Amino acid sequence: MESQRNNHTAWRICCTLAVVILCLAFSPLFIPAGQHAPLLLGLPYALWTGIALCVLMVVITYVATLVHPGNTSR
Partner 1 sequence: MLQSLLIVGCIYLALLIGVSVWQRRLRTNSKDYFLAGGSLPTVLGLFTFAATLFSTFTLLGMPDLFRVHGIGAWHFLAVSDMALIFGVIWIGYHFRKVALKQGFWGMAGFLNQRYGNRLAGGVAFFGVFVFLIPYVAIQIKGVSDFVAHAFPDLLPGWGWSVLMVAVMLLYSELGGLKAIVYNDAIQGLVLLVVIWIVGISCVREVGGLEAGYASLIERQPALASVPGPRGLFTPQFLIGSMVAILLIPFTQPQVSIRLAIMRDNRSMYRMAVGVGTFAILVILPTAFIGLYGSLRYPELTAFEFLTQALIHDQPATLAAFVLIGLLAAAISTADSQIFALGTELRSILNIQDDRRLTRITKIGIGVFALIALAFSVVSSDQLALLARTSFAGTSLLAPLIFVAVFGRRGAGSRLLPLVTLAGILVFVGSLFGWIPEHLLGLRLDLLLLVLLALVAVGIGLLDEGEEEAAQTN
Question: Which residues would be at the binding site for partner 1 (CB under 8 A)?
Answer: 15, 18, 22, 25-27, 30-36, 39, 41-47, 50-51, 53-55, 57-58, 60-62, 64-65, 68-74
Least separation in angstroms between residue 23's CB and partner 1 is 9
- Close Cβ partners of 31 (under 8 Å, ≥ 6 residues apart): 25, 46, 50
Least separation in angstroms between residue 40's CB and partner 1 is 10
Instruction: Give 13 or 44: the residue with its C-beta nearer to partner 1.
Output: 44
* 8-27 core/surface letters (b: 16 or more CB in 10 A; e: else): eeebeebeeeeeeeeeeeee
Least separation in angstroms between residue 50's CB and partner 1 is 4
